[in-house]
């Protein structure tokens, strides 16, 4: 499928990633269906996108007319059947291989024959996700960075059977979104998280073994290596459960002990201290204003 033939895009999952991806696609002029099985989550996403667009208008980065047109490109649904006319469907749900494969099987059933199925997974094998469909040549990884409207990178991952045509279509589509593209082979963690997660894990080990306080670890990395956020702050923004999930994928997929998750990270997740989304992780956010410019790889 040529990129010019892409008219309608479906996005499955209305969390921070899914709603951000939907906004990016609408900004680029595509008609977009944003789907979530939870109507409350869908309503929350609609309000968040509207607020984001209004913020851009108020800052003069978008005209009122352009903002209205953008919102008119977006539709919201809880029915997979509404995606049957989509040319590209981007999955952005929970980072679980079992759940993603079930969704891909369902999408394969309802999507039109020519549709491309893309996953925003940050670590799970595209080849294995594709195996749950009858169209493995049309399955590809399209890993956006968080938050999608702000971050300029998309990591494209080809499965074992992804066709050249599908790769070119998705690469061109990402560039139409205004993003810079990097390409990874289908290995655990791909490029960004293969490098980032061991750093975050090592920061947890430094805290766990008493090398330094969380504040000094983060300050050291921010001022010593010019990172916009310290690794523990970044872990809180990503979600400690997601960090743990990716580390498990790296450890299981690569079989190297250096990827074994730090016991402190495991303990925090077991305690429900998942980061900013729960109000507490490494840091307590219940009485804090959000970070001005959150950056992460997920």
The SS3 of residue 116 is strand
Q: Do 45 and 108 fall into the same domain?
A: yes
Residue 290 lies in a domain: no
Which pLDDT score is estimated for 135? 98
CA-to-CA distance for 50 and 73, rounded, in angstroms? 12
Residue 298 lies in a domain: no
Provide the strand spans (E) within the chain.
8-12, 31-35, 74-77, 88-91, 116-119, 139-144, 153-158, 180-184
Q: For 142, which DSSP code?
A: E
Which pLDDT score is estimated for 291? 41
Q: Provide the domain limits for residue 208.
A: 193-278
CATH number at 256 reads: 1.10.1040.10
Per the CB < 8 A criterion, the answer to whether 117 and 111 are in contact is yes
- Per the structure, the count of domains in the chain is 2
The residue out of 121, 149, 184 marking a domain boundary is 184
Look up the pTM and report it: 0.89
Which pLDDT score is estimated for 288? 64
Residue 20 lies in a domain: yes
Residue 151 lies in a domain: yes
Residues annotated catalytic, as ranges: 122, 143, 155, 193
Q: Do 105 and 175 fall into the same domain?
A: yes
Q: Do 43 and 174 fall into the same domain?
A: yes
Ranges of H-type helices in 1-142: 16-27, 39-58, 64-72, 97-110, 126-130
Residue 286 lies in a domain: no
The count of C-alpha atoms lying within 13 angstroms of the C-alpha of 45, restricted to the half-sphere facing its C-beta, is 28
Angle formed by the axes of helices 240-254 and 263-270, nearest 10° = 130
Per the CB < 8 A criterion, the answer to whether 107 and 83 are in contact is yes
Angle at 165 between CA 164 and CA 169, to 5 degrees: 115
For residue 168 the two structure tokens come to 């070119």
**Taking the alpha carbons of 43, 177, 108, 242 in that order, is the dihedral positive or negative?**
negative
Q: What is the pLDDT along the chain (298 residues), one digit of tens a residue?
A: 666 689 999 999 999 999 999 999 999 999 999 999 999 999 999 999 999 899 989 989 888 988 898 899 999 999 999 999 999 999 999 999 999 999 999 999 999 999 999 999 999 999 999 999 999 999 999 999 999 999 999 999 999 999 999 999 999 999 999 999 999 999 999 999 999 999 999 999 999 999 999 999 999 999 999 999 999 999 999 999 999 999 999 999 999 999 999 999 999 999 999 999 999 999 999 876 444 333 333 4
For residue 184, the cross-strand partners are 157
Tokens 């208008």 correspond to 57
Which pLDDT score is estimated for 293? 38
Q: Do 201 and 180 fall into the same domain?
A: no
Q: For 132, which DSSP code?
A: T
Which pLDDT score is estimated for 294? 37
Which pLDDT score is estimated for 287? 75
Of 222, 206, 225, which is closest to residue 214 (Cα–Cα)? 206
For residue 86 the two structure tokens come to 């989509």
Q: Do 220 and 240 fall into the same domain?
A: yes
Which pLDDT score is estimated for 13? 97
For residue 14 the two structure tokens come to 């209305």
């Amino acid at each position: 499928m040529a990129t010019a033939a892409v008219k309608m895009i479906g996005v499955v999952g209305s969390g921070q990633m899914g709603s951000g991806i939907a906004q990016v696609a609408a900004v680029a002029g595509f008609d977009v269906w944003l789907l979530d099985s939870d109507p409350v989550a869908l309503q929350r996403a609609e309000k968040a996108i509207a607020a984001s667009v209004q913020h851009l208008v108020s800052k003069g980065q978008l005209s009122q007319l352009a903002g209205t047109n953008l919102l008119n490109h977006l539709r919201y649904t809880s029915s997979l059947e509404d995606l049957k006319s989509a040319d590209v469907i981007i999955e952005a749900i929970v980072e679980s291989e079992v759940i993603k494969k079930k969704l891909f099987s369902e999408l394969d059933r309802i999507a039109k024959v020519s549709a491309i199925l893309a996953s925003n997974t940050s670590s799970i094998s595209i080849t294995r996700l594709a195996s749950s469909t009858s169209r493995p040549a049309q399955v590809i990884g399209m890993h956006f960075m968080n938050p999608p409207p702000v971050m300029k990178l998309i990591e494209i991952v080809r499965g074992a059977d992804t066709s050249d045509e599908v790769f070119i279509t998705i690469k061109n589509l990402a560039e139409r979104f205004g993003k810079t593209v990097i390409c990874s082979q289908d290995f655990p963690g791909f490029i960004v998280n293969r490098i980032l997660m061991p750093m975050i894990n090592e920061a947890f080990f430094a805290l766990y073994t008493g090398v330094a306080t969380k504040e000094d670890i983060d300050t050291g990395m921010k001022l010593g290596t010019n990172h916009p956020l310290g690794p523990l702050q970044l872990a809180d923004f990503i979600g400690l459960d997601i960090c743990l999930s990716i580390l498990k994928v790296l450890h299981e997929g690569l079989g190297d002990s250096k990827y074994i998750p730090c016991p402190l990270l495991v303990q925090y997740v077991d305690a429900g201290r998942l980061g900013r989304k729960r109000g507490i992780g490494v840091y307590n956010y219940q009485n804090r204003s959000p970070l001005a410019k959150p950056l992460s790889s997920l």
